[in-house]
Amino acid sequence: MNGFEKRAALIRSKIMKTTMELLKTWEARRLRIADIAKAAGVSQVTIYNYFGSKEALLSESFKDFVDEAILEFEEEMRLRKTLKERVTYFIFKDKEAYSSLDPALVKELMVEDQVMYQYIQQQYDDRMVPLMAQMVAEGKASGEISQKVSVEAVLLMIQMYIKSSGEMLDSVAKHEDKEKFLDELFHIFFYGLCGRELEE
């Protein structure tokens, strides 16, 4: 990559990250290219030259957001941590990432946009599944996950959550205390309804 290409990549990245930052406090439909250009310190023409339209910018920004989240997941998995530490990290990062964004926007980009959905699914299959399978296998080996639970069962539960993400996001959006509700959903996913295995 030559100097011009590096500079172009940096500008493109800055515009996308600025867009995602603005979406934490703006509704997508109210956010204008002019607002993004001002916040990023570039011209509107520059944004149109790189992305062509606001819709394409939102899509590319969210894709970049997903790529970075997966990269962080991969880096976290390289560290020697207990399952509890990893789960705590994932809960924190998921809450931080998605609770700050408009649930309607996340639903639109992750569920209703078929191209985006297929992209995320491909990334999930190719990069996330092997790492999660490794995490579950290590958890079983260390005794942190019950031997009654198979790797396949855990991955199936994750798939079920992904497939129902649209309905879940709708529920979160309507809830009076969104953060508390997210806490409850994460708790049920990772720890179950009882929070611990019942004694037989």
| Vertex 90 angle, CA 165 and 117, to 5° | 35
23, 29, 33, 35: CA torsion to nearest 10: -60
Tokens 């579950």 sit on residue: 136
DSSP string, 92-108: HHHHHHHTTS-HHHHHI
pLDDT tens for the chain, residues 1 to 200 = 788 889 999 999 999 999 999 988 888 888 999 999 999 999 999 999 999 999 999 989 988 988 888 888 888 888 888 877 776 676 666 656 666 677 677 777 766 778 888 888 888 889 888 888 888 888 888 887 778 888 888 778 777 766 676 677 678 778 888 878 877 877 776 677 666 544 44
Whether residue 85 contacts residue 93, with contact meaning beta carbons closer than 8 Å, is answered with no
pLDDT score at 85: 78
The two structure tokens encoding residue 167:
């309905």
pTM greater than the 0.85 cutoff: no
Q: Which domains does the chain have, with CATH numbers?
A: 1-52 (1.10.10.60), 58-191 (1.10.357)
- Phi, psi angles (nearest 5°) of residue 82: -75, 165
Region of 192 on the Ramachandran plot (φ > 0 left; ψ -120 to 50 alpha; else beta) = left
pLDDT score at 12: 95
pLDDT score at 61: 92
pLDDT score at 91: 62
